[in-house]
Structure 1
Amino acid sequence: MEKIHFENCVKSFFLGLFIGVILQLFDHSDMLFEYQVLTVLASGSVGFLIGLVTEWLTSILPIRMANARTYFFMNNLIALVVATIIMAALYMITSSEMESKREFMPILLIVLGMICIANLFDYMMYRRAQNKLKTYQASMESLKHEGTD
């Protein structure tokens, strides 16, 4: 549990909230506002659950996968599999209320696409931070060498 990045779980919660809002815009059924809010909150909770399971599974990966690119790839792959399993389970639980499987596939594709985009964005932000760190370290080294001359 100490290797789990709970910050990523919180990010997953907010991603779930965002996906819930997007899916509410996608859904054209007449639903009370209170139910829409509950649906968005449930989506955030599912996002948190997906994030927690993904982070737990990622934390038990072998240390030889410590390369950042491999870590982000495996994390994304695990997140997609976990999201698919959880969404399929939720579909089976609520299948009596859903009209057809045709409703499920577009929703699943939207969710998986947004997870991929979010993970790609997270990786790009990581790379940007690493590049800024290298630039800062190089500038500090040049200042250090100027001071000794």
Structure 2
Amino acid sequence: MEKIHLANMIKSFFLGLLIGVILQFFDHADVQFSYKVMTVLASGSVGFIIGFITEWLTSVLPIRMANSRTYFFINNFIALIVTTLIMTASLLMISGSEMESNREFVPVLLIVLGIICIANLFDYMMYRRAQNKLKTFKAWIKDK
């Protein structure tokens, strides 16, 4: 449990909130504002749960996979699988065995998975940027 990054779980919560807001623009149904707010908060909570499961599964990985590129790839892959499983399970629980809503579900799933991929790519780019700045700073300190 000490290898789990709480910051990544919090990022997942806010990413879930963002996804909830974006999906509100995708759905044009006339719903009360309070239901939309509850949906966004529920989306954030699901994002937190997905972040926890993803971080827990990533923390179980062996240390020899400590290469940052491999870590970010595996973390993204785990997040995509966990998200797909949770969204599919929630669809089956909500709609039962009706596959009528499948036409509406697939675009929503693709939007969510796309947002997750973009967010993980952005996180990796920010990590690389921080590492490059650290190298520059180390070289600057060494020169002084």
TM bucket by the smaller chain? over 0.9
1:48 and 1:93 map into 2 onto residues whose CA distance is: 20
The aligned counterpart of 2:41 is: 41
Q: Distance in 2 between matches of 1:120 and 1:98?
A: 32
Match of 1:131 in 2: 132
- What amino acid maps onto 1:87 in structure 2? M
Counterpart Cα distance in 1 of 2:78 and 2:38: 27
1: CA distance, partners of 2:81 / 2:99: 22
Larger Rg: 1
TM-score normalized by structure 1? 0.93
* Residue 94 (str. 1) matches residue 100 (str. 2): no
* TM-score, normalised with respect to structure 2: 0.97
Distance 2:88 2:50 in 1: 13
Runs of 5+ consecutive residues of structure 2 not aligned to the other structure? none
Q: 1:13 and 1:133, CA in 2 relative to 1: closer, same or farther beyond 3 A?
A: same
Percentage identity across paired residues of the two chains: 72
RMSD: 1.3
Which digits, 9 at most, give the CA deviation of each residue in 1:10-66, with x for residues without a partner?
000000000000000000111110000000000000000000000000000011100
Residue 28 (structure 1) aligned with residue 28 (structure 2)? yes
CA-CA distance at 1:95 after TM superposition: 1.1
Structure 1 unaligned spans of 5+: 144-149
Query: CA offsets, 1:76-96, max 9 Å, x none?
Result: 000000000000011011115
Aligned residues: 143
